[in-house]
Chain A
């Protein structure tokens, strides 16, 4: 069991499968527990409601602990994994608490929407983390804040590559070959604008590499018609284009990685307020079921 947990927390494919199975099993167990609780002349909404509230409190504690920097980096990692794991279980608890049905009053809709927003944003955040780890398309050391600077550096680098004259041409004083003009044309028509800012946002969002391929195909299609020096230039440009594309990807995903928290955390705060009122209302109208 311990090894299974270790594997589950390791993040491998097998570990993830175990995680999914664990979540499914615990959720099933929760549903069963609520079912027998309800069959025992008790209102099951109190059981799954308090399980939900307890879980939410643990999730909030994670947020507070991180904010107060109480967690060591190792603990932080463990807590993050626990946060995600518990989050999935809370979805099961929420489904049970809402009795597998949609709400039908304004206040319930507000509560429902709050939870769904928090849960969905959490799932998206988890997915982003996972997809980044899986795709490994972000270079080491790249952070969201450094992307504009690095993009500027790349633009300059590609300009320098294009502008570098052929040393052999100067040595033999031969008239300028048309190859340079073709490369300059490629640069001015395709490459320059590509390096001027973030590009292909939507393609990166869906993980498509088609825009990059189009551009590299342009470069590749020119390669047979230039000399060796030109080919070296084009190869350098291609590398820089690829790096710029990774930067764009990194910008999209690192941006999203930040943005989802701007939904997740405020929605959580609102949900806490609504939950507190919900608990108050429930017990005020509980017909003394809890005394």
Chain B
């Protein structure tokens, strides 16, 4: 019988006896196996890459990846380099490669990519629920046979849940309920099954805006409607609320669209009944001059009528240097207007404070605020940008400070010039800033000329700080000037100087000096410059001219006499409006011995920037300058009334935060539950939003904002019940898998811009 052709592959034995079939079979099998090995080797050699070893095509999002080593980091680009993967290396190397494109926090490989603290809290909470919910048998078996705790503790791989090579259409982000239940000690068969009831959902965290719905609906709106029927009152929820661009978070419409008609005047201070309508920014604090004189404190000239207090902003500005901080600390608990019990060290600190304040004014006149405050930091915060400083000073016009100087401290220039020279080696702080700019002091008028300002307009005599007169300490200069001064007790550097009075025709408002004022200032300055020129020349020892007496008494006398007219320029127009009301729509004004800032409206930059910057450095109860600023601007009675609506979160040791930014998808990161409003908007019944959010009267909503804990919250609305969701989310209707409402990566994962270098040749 003829053997089938395929059996001829088997070799015939030499003795002529047919080989047993098993032997022939094995020979065929061996040759076929060898052929397979050769075939694979040929495929290796002929192939361009390792694609033929792939277990399946990549998902479409990864379709452009051609090199295995892009994800499989141990696999090189060589034909056999993939074998390197067999050698142990970094367990998370491949998962770390994923993070190259999918940006995640450092806790990426933790369960839920959450921090250990968050995980612990969540686990504790779930464990409580688990204690009363029996686990199914499958879950118990799984826990016994394959415990997940150790796996999770070692750090999860991206591929634990996201299995690649499943085809182009495969959705990598799909996570099954069972995968969620790998770790969760409580296993729910479905949402409408054993899923626990909601606990005060969605009010686990209070809203960022403080808005008492009950108060507005029940009291404010009816009152407003009664008082002014023309005023617009929200008619529907949608007047104020919309689900935003991302259609996820139910946001609030802008201030201008909603609250402005009733609340703008509260911000600008128009509705304020008592207290200043502006924020005292710079001030000459009232001092106990009698005591200071008695203790022979050297402070130069100082208005005795001031009852102002040292502003918190000045504390921050002065406290920018080590010396300034020491001064602020030393005087912080002193009553500056009653120093009778102060010891010598404290008196000395008060004197130092005076010179710091004078230095601040001097520097702000000499240079731009952004330059002067360039090294401003808030409790160790990094260097602030020029634009931020501009915000922090609301672009403080120089004329405001100059006006203050002219009226309050007319001899500031001479005093500072003299002090600088006398104490240059030991002075830091403002002196450093001042020395950097060219000091131009009109010795005759003691007016300060800012560098780059007015030089072209008026000739003046510039006295270098090495001038003899200037080298005298201010107190000695004051003493020398005293006998010759026309008003020695008022104007010169005597601690007991009586208050300087304003010229009758002088306005406090220097925001917009009148042309007359400017002309008066200029002409005065010009005259003084002319008068000062020869003296100045005389005072310069290196000019070979006869040296003036060390303390030219007549000159000092002149100086003391003249500032009164120069500092208080003649204003021919008398304003009928006080400065505070003059700045009705916001801005700077000067009143008494303080420079005030009145908020310009919602989102006022000065108040916003100070609150934002000082908050994180101002833990509740601390006495730091930053805390003083924050407390001043965030108090109930604070100008701007920011915290009337914007809640303040107390972050414990990390300070406080005013919630200026509205809730967004980003702000909800870190939460395990998500809710998208949009798909639910069309399924509400005729009660609209009230279908889910029922307004409940008498709840202590506002009380929850009295403390800083954002987690403590009682809403005006009742909690959403699980039963309500179950009307749709059942096995026969809407989805009810875990990821419908929960998210795994609580901190999210983003795809950053690629690092593309500019094509510069």
Q: Does A289 contact B (CB under 8 A)?
A: yes
Question: Contacts of B74 on A, CB cut-off 8 Å?
Answer: 284, 288
Q: A35-B178, A148-B1, A288-B93 are in contact. Are A273 and B36 (CB under 8 A)?
A: yes
- Measured CA separation A272–B36 after assembly (Å): 10
Asked if B85 and A39 sit within 8 Å, CB to CB, the answer is no
- Measured CA separation A43–B409 after assembly (Å): 80
Asked if B159 and A105 sit within 8 Å, CB to CB, the answer is no
Q: Does A211 contact B (CB under 8 A)?
A: no
- Measured CA separation A41–B112 after assembly (Å): 13
Chain A 243-266 interface residues, beta-carbon cutoff 8 Å to B: 258, 261-262, 265-266
Interface membership of chain A positions 106-119, coded 1 if the CB is closer than 8 angstroms to chain B and 0 otherwise: 11100000000000
Asked if A40 and B52 sit within 8 Å, CB to CB, the answer is no
Asked if B25 and A291 sit within 8 Å, CB to CB, the answer is no
Asked if B89 and A266 sit within 8 Å, CB to CB, the answer is no
Asked if B182 and A41 sit within 8 Å, CB to CB, the answer is yes
Q: Does A287 contact B (CB under 8 A)?
A: yes
Q: Does A140 contact B (CB under 8 A)?
A: no
Q: Does B424 contact A (CB under 8 A)?
A: no
Interface membership of chain B positions 17-43, coded 1 if the CB is closer than 8 angstroms to chain A and 0 otherwise: 000011011101110110011001000
Asked if B21 and A258 sit within 8 Å, CB to CB, the answer is yes
Asked if A285 and B160 sit within 8 Å, CB to CB, the answer is no
Query: CB within 8 A of B25: which of A35, A103, A262?
Result: A262
Asked if A106 and B52 sit within 8 Å, CB to CB, the answer is yes
Asked if B182 and A285 sit within 8 Å, CB to CB, the answer is no
Question: Contacts of B29 on A, CB cut-off 8 Å?
Answer: 265-266, 268-270
A87-95, A213-221, A275-283 - the one binding chain B: A275-283
Asked if B36 and A280 sit within 8 Å, CB to CB, the answer is no
- Closest chain A CB from B53 CB (angstroms): 5
Asked if A266 and B88 sit within 8 Å, CB to CB, the answer is no
Q: A67-B22, A272-B33 are in contact. Are A291 and B82 (CB under 8 A)?
A: no
Q: A67-B26, A269-B29, A269-B32 are in contact. Are A284 and B178 (CB under 8 A)?
A: no
Asked if B182 and A40 sit within 8 Å, CB to CB, the answer is yes
Asked if A285 and B68 sit within 8 Å, CB to CB, the answer is yes
Q: A107-B53, A273-B33 are in contact. Are A287 and B22 (CB under 8 A)?
A: no
Question: Contacts of A274 on B, CB cut-off 8 Å?
Answer: 36
B150-158, B438-446, B709-717 - the one binding chain A: B150-158
- Measured CA separation A268–B30 after assembly (Å): 10
Which of B89, B152, B157, B167 has the largest number of chain A CB atoms within 10 A?
B157
Q: A261-B25, A262-B25, A268-B29 are in contact. Are A40 and B90 (CB under 8 A)?
A: no
Asked if A270 and B36 sit within 8 Å, CB to CB, the answer is yes
Chain B 629-681 interface residues, beta-carbon cutoff 8 Å to A: none
Chain A 114-141 interface residues, beta-carbon cutoff 8 Å to B: none
Asked if B6 and A289 sit within 8 Å, CB to CB, the answer is no
Closest to A114 in B: B36
Q: Does B398 contact A (CB under 8 A)?
A: no
Question: Contacts of A142 on B, CB cut-off 8 Å?
Answer: none
Dominant secondary structure at the B interface: helix
Asked if B160 and A266 sit within 8 Å, CB to CB, the answer is no
Q: Does B72 contact A (CB under 8 A)?
A: yes
Q: A105-B56, A266-B25 are in contact. Are A288 and B33 (CB under 8 A)?
A: no
- Total number of B residues with any Cβ neighbor in A under 8 Å: 60
Query: CB within 8 A of B6: which of A262, A269, A281?
Result: A262
Asked if B33 and A270 sit within 8 Å, CB to CB, the answer is yes
- Measured CA separation A287–B162 after assembly (Å): 13
B140-148, B375-383, B499-507, B687-695 - the one binding chain A: B140-148
Question: Contacts of A67 on B, CB cut-off 8 Å?
Answer: 22, 26
Question: Contacts of A291 on B, CB cut-off 8 Å?
Answer: 88, 91
Query: CB within 8 A of A273: which of B37, B86, B157, B178?
Result: B37
- Measured CA separation A138–B26 after assembly (Å): 28
Which of A33, A148, A270, A282 has the largest number of chain B CB atoms within 10 A?
A270
Q: Does B538 contact A (CB under 8 A)?
A: no
Closest to B180 in A: A39
Query: CB within 8 A of A287: which of B6, B33, B95, B151?
Result: B95
Interface membership of chain B positions 371-410, coded 1 if the CB is closer than 8 angstroms to chain A and 0 otherwise: 0000000000000000000000000000000000000000
- Measured CA separation A196–B157 after assembly (Å): 71
Interface membership of chain A positions 19-52, coded 1 if the CB is closer than 8 angstroms to chain B and 0 otherwise: 0000000000000110111111111000000000
Q: Does B107 contact A (CB under 8 A)?
A: no
Question: Contacts of A289 on B, CB cut-off 8 Å?
Answer: 157, 159
Asked if A41 and B183 sit within 8 Å, CB to CB, the answer is yes
Closest to A39 in B: B178
Q: Does B181 contact A (CB under 8 A)?
A: yes
Question: Contacts of A266 on B, CB cut-off 8 Å?
Answer: 25, 28-29, 32-33
Q: Does B7 contact A (CB under 8 A)?
A: yes
Asked if B72 and A287 sit within 8 Å, CB to CB, the answer is yes
- Closest chain B CB from A44 CB (angstroms): 10
Q: Does A171 contact B (CB under 8 A)?
A: no
- Measured CA separation A289–B85 after assembly (Å): 11
Q: Does B75 contact A (CB under 8 A)?
A: yes
Question: Contacts of A41 on B, CB cut-off 8 Å?
Answer: 148, 151-152, 156, 160, 182-183
- Measured CA separation A148–B142 after assembly (Å): 61
- Measured CA separation A269–B167 after assembly (Å): 30
Question: Contacts of A282 on B, CB cut-off 8 Å?
Answer: 55
Q: Does B429 contact A (CB under 8 A)?
A: no
Q: Does B239 contact A (CB under 8 A)?
A: no
Question: Contacts of B93 on A, CB cut-off 8 Å?
Answer: 287-288
Query: CB within 8 A of B75: which of A35, A273, A284?
Result: A284
Query: CB within 8 A of B181: which of A32, A39, A261?
Result: A39
Asked if B33 and A269 sit within 8 Å, CB to CB, the answer is yes
Question: Contacts of B1 on A, CB cut-off 8 Å?
Answer: 148
- Measured CA separation A105–B75 after assembly (Å): 20
Q: Does B83 contact A (CB under 8 A)?
A: yes
Question: Contacts of B148 on A, CB cut-off 8 Å?
Answer: 40-41
Q: Does B57 contact A (CB under 8 A)?
A: yes
Closest to B82 in A: A284
Q: Does B132 contact A (CB under 8 A)?
A: no
Closest to B178 in A: A39
Question: Contacts of B462 on A, CB cut-off 8 Å?
Answer: none
Closest to A37 in B: B146
Q: A269-B33, A287-B157 are in contact. Are A36 and B75 (CB under 8 A)?
A: no
Question: Contacts of A285 on B, CB cut-off 8 Å?
Answer: 53, 68, 72, 75, 82, 85
- Closest chain B CB from A284 CB (angstroms): 4
- Closest chain B CB from A257 CB (angstroms): 10
- Measured CA separation A274–B90 after assembly (Å): 28
Q: Does B138 contact A (CB under 8 A)?
A: yes
- Closest chain B CB from A244 CB (angstroms): 16
- Measured CA separation A45–B459 after assembly (Å): 90
- Closest chain A CB from B99 CB (angstroms): 13
- Measured CA separation A35–B176 after assembly (Å): 12
Q: Does A202 contact B (CB under 8 A)?
A: no
- Closest chain B CB from A177 CB (angstroms): 40
Question: Contacts of A42 on B, CB cut-off 8 Å?
Answer: 146, 151
26 A-B pairs with CB atoms under 8 Å apart are: A36-B145, A38-B178, A40-B151, A43-B163, A67-B22, A105-B56, A108-B56, A258-B21, A261-B22, A262-B21, A262-B24, A265-B28, A266-B28, A269-B29, A270-B33, A270-B36, A273-B40, A280-B83, A280-B86, A284-B75, A285-B53, A287-B72, A288-B74, A288-B92, A288-B93, A289-B157
A residues apposed to B, CB below 8 Å: 32-33, 35-43, 67, 103-108, 148, 258, 261-262, 265-266, 268-270, 272-274, 277, 280-289, 291
Q: Which 8 A-B pairs have the closest CB atoms?
A: A40-B146, A284-B85, A266-B29, A287-B94, A269-B33, A269-B29, A36-B142, A266-B32
Given A40-B182, A280-B86, A284-B86, 6 more pairs with CB closer than 8 A: A39-B142, A43-B163, A105-B57, A262-B24, A285-B72, A288-B90
